[in-house]
Amino acid sequence: MAEYFKTYLKTEEHLLKIESDEYAIKAISFVDKIEKQSEFQPEILENAKLQLQSYFEGDLQNFNLKLDPEGTDFQKKVWDLLYKIPYGKTWTYAEMANKLGDPKVIRAAASANGKNPVAIIIPCHRVVGTNGSLTGYAGGLENKRFLLDLENRVANGVMRLF
């Protein structure tokens, strides 16, 4: 079994735990506290920290990181689709199900969306309810609102929080 490494990124508003093996990002999650970090930090972790910091500063819209989240084949199919949602845009769960080729998989797609282990980079925060409402988000609805607001401001040229 491959060894996993972890580091943290602290911004003014958020604390993210970033996990990887030597080659790819495995998970990114919002956390409340820093636990022991890995002494060895593979280059992929450092790149992820730099790119996420640029994202939060409004300077990065497309990530360039190798991802390897663990999940079922269906979950990975959903996560691949999530990755295609354009920056500053949202899709509904119904749109996701239709893009997956079967409107009946809406609940399964929503479940896979909720199990996305790579927050922000696989942008599950860009999925909203049919009426545009903010529905569940593993990182908390306040973080979902923050991310959508940030992307909306940047996409519309109303820059910077800092």
The C-alpha angle with vertex 119 and arms to 151 and 159, in degrees rounded to 5, equals 15
Confidence at residue 21, expressed as pLDDT on a 0 to 100 scale: 95
By percentage, how much of the chain surpasses pLDDT 90? 78
Report pLDDT for 134. Answer: 84
Rounded to an integer, what distance in angstroms lies between the CA atom of residue 9 and that of residue 30? 10
Instruction: Return the residue matching tokens 């119904």.
Output: 94
Q: Specify the pLDDT at position 157.
A: 81
Burial status of residue 39 (CB atoms within 10 A of its CB: 0-12, 13-18, 19 or more): exposed
Instruction: Give yes or no for a contact between 115 and 107, defined as CB atoms under 8 angstroms apart.
Output: no
Whole-angstrom Cα distance, residue 129 to residue 34? Answer: 32
Determine contact, residues 30/143, Cβ cutoff 8 Å: yes
pLDDT of 155 reads: 87
* Lowest model confidence (mean pLDDT) among 70-79, 105-114, 129-138: 129-138
Q: What is the pLDDT of residues 17-59, one digit of tens each?
A: 999 999 999 999 999 999 988 888 999 999 999 999 999 999 9
CA 95 to the chain's CA centroid = 19
Per-residue model confidence (pLDDT) at position 159:
62
pLDDT tens digits, residue range 97-126? 999 999 899 999 999 999 999 999 999 999
| Choice among 67, 124, 148, 154 that is catalytic | 124
The pLDDT value given to residue 1 = 57
pLDDT of 161 over the 50 cut? no
At 49, phi and psi to the nearest 5? -60, -45
What tokens does 82 get? 């999530």
User: The tokens of 24 are what?
Assistant: 């790819």
137 flagged as catalytic: no
pLDDT score for 162 = 45
